[in-house]
Structure 1
Amino acid sequence: MYYFTGFYCPGCGSQRAIHLLLHGDIIGAFRFNPLMVLTIPIMVYGVGITAANWIFGTSYRLLLFYSKVFIFGYFGLAILYWILRNLPFYPFNLLAPTG
């Protein structure tokens, strides 16, 4: 998206951040996309519950994923993050992906 518009999307830098996480560089990954890095534990927990349900035949649910407050709140956070990371002044310019 940056190539066409000059603006960073909420996912810009995610691929490089995942690469750095797989190499153990949490701080480097955080510099590329802090929202994605902070979201990974929630996603891993959700996938873990789903896998455990499949393996053990249970039906536990992560109620957080069924909460309208969480879903709309996270969507609002992503929109706010998208706006703030494109502001050209400190401290918001720290949210832009940097190498």
Structure 2
Amino acid sequence: MKQRLQKTICYILLFTGLGFLYYKWYQGTGFAVPCFFHAITKLYCPGCGMTRCLTHLLQFEIQDAFRCNVAIFLLSPALLYILTYSLYSYVRYGKVHFSKVQNILLFGCLTILILFGIVRNLPAFSFLQPV
């Protein structure tokens, strides 16, 4: 268990550090990694606007974060719970095993994201497109 905890902490620090460097890069240059799905199809995927959403959240600009990606903003508590439980389960037991309720939550989030990705591209729902 101790080795899994050390490994998990190393990965968390690595990804947090990379995320911080990416955030600073984006702040300094205004250039973000483009969405390849949008570049190819000209449609917005469920993740379009996430970089701007997270940047606004880090600056405590809640309303702007909400407008960048409504689905991720609203689903973030559930997604953070799933991530936290997964990390805990891996460290504690060496594997991740979801209960029936957690599976329903996970597939519910995925279903909402897929539907959001479809709906935000319809002309009547253009207000869901990232700003």
Q: Is TM > 0.5 for Structure 1 vs Structure 2?
A: yes
Deviation string 1:13-47 (CA, Å, 9 cap, x unpaired) is 00110000000011101111011111222233345
d(CA) in 1 for partners of 2:127, 2:120: 7
Structure number with greater Rg is 2
Tell me which of 45, 48, 55 is aligned to 1:12.
48
Amino acid at match of 1:82: G
The residue aligned with 1:94 is 127
Any stretches of 5+ residues in structure 1 without a counterpart?
A: none
- The one-letter code matched in structure 2 to 1:40 is S
**Count of residues in Structure 1 that have an aligned counterpart in Structure 2:** 90
Counterpart among 67, 76, 92 of residue 31 in structure 1: 67
Residues 1:43 and 1:78: Cα distance change in structure 2 (over 3 Å):
closer
- The answer to whether the 8 Å contact 2:78/2:105 transfers is no
SS of residue paired to 2:51: helix
Shift of 1:77: 1.3
TM-score (norm 2): 0.57
The root-mean-square deviation of aligned C-alpha atoms, in Å, is 2.5
**Structure whose residues are more often helix by fraction:** 2
Partner of 2:16: none
Summarize the alignment of residues 37-76 of structure 1 with structure 2, pairs less than 5 Å apart: 37-49=73-85, 50=87, 63=99, 64-65=101-102, 67=103, 69-76=104-111
Q: Structure 1 pair 42/4, CA: closer, same or farther in 2 (3 Å)?
A: same
TM-aligned CA distance change 1:48 to 1:79, over 3 Å: closer
Alpha carbons of structure 1 residues 36 and 7: separation in structure 2 relative to 1, 3 Å: same
Aligned-residue identity in percent: 34
Report if aligned partners of 2:50, 2:69 keep a CA contact under 8 Å in 1: yes
Q: Determine helix, strand or coil for the equivalent of 1:83.
A: helix
- Residue of structure 2 in register with 1:3 after alignment: 39
